[in-house]
Amino acid sequence: MQIEWIYGLIGGLLIGSAAALMLLGNGRIMGASGIVGGLIDGSATDRGSTLAFIAGLIGMPALMSLGGWQVDTQAASAPVLLITGGLAVGIGTRFANGCTSGHGVCGMSRLSVRGFAATLAYIGAGAMTVTAMRIGLGL
């Protein structure tokens, strides 16, 4: 019996709980690109919580791997694809004024029209990109 789907369920519950906790705890929307961007461009008003958020993003997977948990993310192993994808996501989040956590998790849960539109746009763009790469590049 395969139960890999449980990782997605647990991850989704953790992300949703973290978003709710951040909104209820300090009144801020948990948009990862905005949080990281605020640290980079100096617009972060609370550097302590910003650094704690980023430490959690990096530290939790590291702790899980030390504890023997290995989850196959299906990430590409080619560095050029990872770098290109990362840059494309970073540019896209700037154009969309938010990312999957800001628009998809927090925006849609607040019934934001902008959140729904952005989520449809990035899911659609991702589907088209995967299709184009599989057909055009045979990946």
Distance, CA of 23 to CA of 130 (rounded, Å): 33
What is the total count of domains within the chain?
A: 1
**Full residue range of the structural domain in which residue 63 is found:** 5-136
Is residue 113 classed exposed, middle or buried when 0-12, 13-18 and 19+ CB atoms within 10 A define those classes?
A: exposed
What per-residue confidence (pLDDT) applies to 71? 64
Top pLDDT among 114 and 26 is at 114
Q: What is the pTM of this model?
A: 0.64
Core vs surface per residue 43-76: b (16+ CB within 10 A) or e? ebeeeeebeebeeeeeeeeeeeeeeeeeeeeeee
Q: Among 19, 17, 43, which residue's Cα sits nearest to residue 99?
A: 19
Model confidence over 98-126: pLDDT tens digits? 777 788 888 888 888 988 998 898 889 88
Model confidence over 59-106: pLDDT tens digits? 887 888 888 877 666 666 777 888 888 888 878 887 777 777 788 888
- Residue 139's pLDDT band (cuts 50, 70, 90): low
Distance, CA of 109 to CA of 77 (rounded, Å): 34
